[in-house]
């Protein structure tokens, strides 16, 4: 049954290979929202969209530093069908959605299928653009490190591995309390089923963005510790404001690399080639970080994932490094 679209599209916020994000307004309440439109025109595109849907729908609680899904809408031509979070718990309903998106059902195969993700609107853009439009700020660095650590704790306690953490996938919401980070883009995420530590469970699907990938991701055998490595790259690049130029998107991005002639080699790949490689932290700016922060970063980017802290330990270490003289409680738990 055709239903009137209840959102008014205001402007395009960003476009990528995966989808297009718009600022929109919920007509009835006049509230601003962000809407990601994903064209499901191939099994691969549908798989990414479905993975994001499953992951966002699996979160039973909200966290201030993780993007929240309001609702998801399946569109076929001008027919809009709301996919409720309760319905995603039904295996039969999921199979119906998946079959529809992958074009295997009896619908006209010439029709277009989209998923619309309706999420909270973040007016500050992404972390990359936000930081590079401002000068170095130690207080802001400290706040962002705390928020990102808290977000990964929440995800890992909910059995979710992001697998593509990078500044472009972190959004900023400007509030009266300052900038609030929201980890987003869960198309490559993984929900771990069953019991056992995520930090010991091994996966083999290679995915992610080169400059933030842990060594074991390059080799195809990894655990949740890949998220810790990616955070280490993000923290290091943020503190020193180290950037590289991405050829595909044609813009400066925060990230760490080694130069090999004209080639830029990601840290993870360089460690695969030379596991005993000693990371020069800081790389270019003396005096921007103390010994405690240097030690923290080296631990986060250790070649051996077993030597990296887990998410809860990282959060505690970040608190200790950021407030070395303060008496603080243990890490935040759900």
pLDDT recorded at residue 295: 95
* Residue 208 near residue 190, CB atoms below 8 Å: no
pLDDT band at 250 (very low <50, low <70, confident <90, very high): confident
Cα–Cα dist 232/298, whole Å: 8
Query: How do residues 24-46 score in pLDDT, each as one tens digit?
Result: 999 888 899 999 999 887 778 88
Of 183-192, 204-213, 301-310, give the lowest mean pLDDT range: 204-213
Q: In this predicted structure, what is the pLDDT of residue 170?
A: 97
Helix or strand (DSSP H, E) at 160: strand 160-161
pLDDT level of residue 88 (50, 70, 90 thresholds): low
Q: What is the C-alpha to C-alpha distance for residues 107 and 46, in angstroms, rounded to an integer?
A: 16
d(CA 36, CA 295): 39
Q: Are 267 and 258 in contact (CB under 8 A)?
A: yes
Q: What is the pLDDT of residue 249?
A: 73
Q: Where are the beta strands (DSSP E) in 230-334?
A: 243-246, 251-254, 257-260, 263-266
Q: Which residue has the higher pLDDT, 196 or 13?
A: 13
pLDDT band of residue 17 (cuts 50, 70, 90) is confident
3-state secondary structure string, 26-77?
ECCCCEEEEEEEEECCCHHHHHHHHHHHHHHHHCCCCCCCECCEEEEEEEEC
Q: How far apart are CA 253 and CA 206, in angstroms?
A: 22
The whole-number average pLDDT for the span 176-191 is 94
* Residue 8, phi then psi, degrees to nearest 5: -105, 120
- Percent of the chain having pLDDT more than 70? 84
Query: Quick check: 4 pLDDT over 70?
Result: no
pLDDT for the residue 329:
45
Question: In which residue are the tokens 């309390």 written?
Answer: 177
Point out the residues that are catalytic.
164
Output 296 or 87, whichever has higher pLDDT.
296
> What CA–CA distance (Å, rounded) separates 296 from 321?
8
Q: Is residue 324's pLDDT more than 90? A: no
The pLDDT of residue 200 is: 61
Average pLDDT over residues 244-256: 87
Of the two residues 55 and 82, the one the predictor is more confident about is 55
Enumerate domains of the chain plus CATH numbers.
7-120 (3.30.200.20), 127-322 (1.10.510.10)
Q: What is the pLDDT of residue 108?
A: 44
Residues across the chain: 334
Q: What would the pLDDT profile of 192-215 be if each residue is shown by its tens digit?
A: 876 556 666 666 677 889 999 999
Nearest Cα neighbor of 13 from 135, 222, 184, 255 is: 184
Is 321 a residue whose pLDDT tops 60? yes
How far, in Å, CA of 16 to CA of 249, rounded? 9
Please list the helix, strand and coil fractions of the chain in percent, rounded to the nearest 5, in that order. 35, 25, 40
Average pLDDT of the chain is 85
The confidence score (pLDDT) of residue 198 equals 63
Q: Report pLDDT for 220.
A: 85
Nearest to residue 74, comparing CAs of 131, 13, 10, 1? 1
Beta-carbon neighbour count of residue 157 at 10 Å? 15
pLDDT tens readout for residues 127-176:
999 999 999 899 999 999 999 999 999 999 999 999 999 999 999 999 99
CA distances from 175 to 32, 34, 123, 285 (A): 15, 16, 9, 31
Tell me the mean pLDDT in the region 291-314: 96
Pairwise CA distance, residues 290 & 21, whole Å: 39
d(CA 259, CA 238): 19
pLDDT at residue number 215: 96
Torsion angle (degrees, nearest 10) of CA 288, 126, 267, 135: -20
Buried b (16+ CB within 10 A) or exposed e, 17-45: ebbebbbbbeeeeeeebbbbbbbbeeeeb
DSSP code for 204: -
**pLDDT at position 333:** 30
């Amino acid at each position: 049954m055709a239903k009137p679209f209840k959102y008014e599209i205001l402007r395009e916020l960003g476009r990528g290979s995966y989808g297009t994000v718009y600022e929109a307004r919920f007509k009835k309440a006049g509230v601003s929202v962000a809407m990601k439109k994903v064209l499901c025109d191939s099994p691969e595109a549908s798989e990414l969209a479905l993975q994001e849907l499953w992951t966002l729908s699996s979160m039973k609680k909200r966290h201030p530093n993780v993007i929240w899904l309001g609702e998801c809408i399946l569109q076929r031509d001008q027919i809009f069908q709301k996919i409720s979070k309760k319905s995603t718990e039904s295996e039969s309903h999921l199979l119906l959605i998946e079959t529809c998106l992958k074009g295997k059902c009896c619908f006209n195969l010439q029709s277009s299928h989209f998923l619309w993700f309706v999420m909270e609107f973040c007016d500050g853009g992404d972390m990359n653009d936000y930081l590079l439009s401002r000068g170095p700020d130690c207080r802001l660095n400290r706040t962002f490190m705390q928020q990102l650590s808290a977000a990964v704790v929440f995800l890992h306690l909910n059995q979710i591995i992001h697998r593509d953490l990078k500044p472009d996938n972190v959004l900023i919401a400007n509030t009266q309390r300052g900038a609030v980070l929201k980890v987003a883009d869960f198309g490559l995420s993984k929900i771990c089923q069953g019991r056992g530590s995520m930090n010991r469970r091994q996966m083999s699907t290679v995915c992610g963005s080169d400059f933030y990938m842990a060594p074991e991701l390059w080799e195809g055998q990894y655990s949740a510790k890949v998220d810790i490595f990616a955070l280490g790259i993000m923290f290091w690049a943020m503190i020193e404001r180290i950037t590289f130029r991405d050829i595909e998107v044609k813009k400066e991005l925060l990230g760490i690399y080694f130069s090999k002639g004209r080639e830029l080699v990601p840290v993870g790949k360089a460690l695969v080639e030379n596991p005993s490689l000693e990371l020069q932290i800081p790389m270019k700016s003396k005096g921007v970080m103390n010994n405690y922060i240097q030690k923290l970063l080296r631990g986060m980017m250790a070649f051996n994932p077993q030597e990296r802290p887990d998410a809860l330990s990282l959060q505690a270490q970040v608190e200790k490094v950021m407030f070395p003289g303060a008496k603080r409680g243990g890490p935040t738990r759900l």
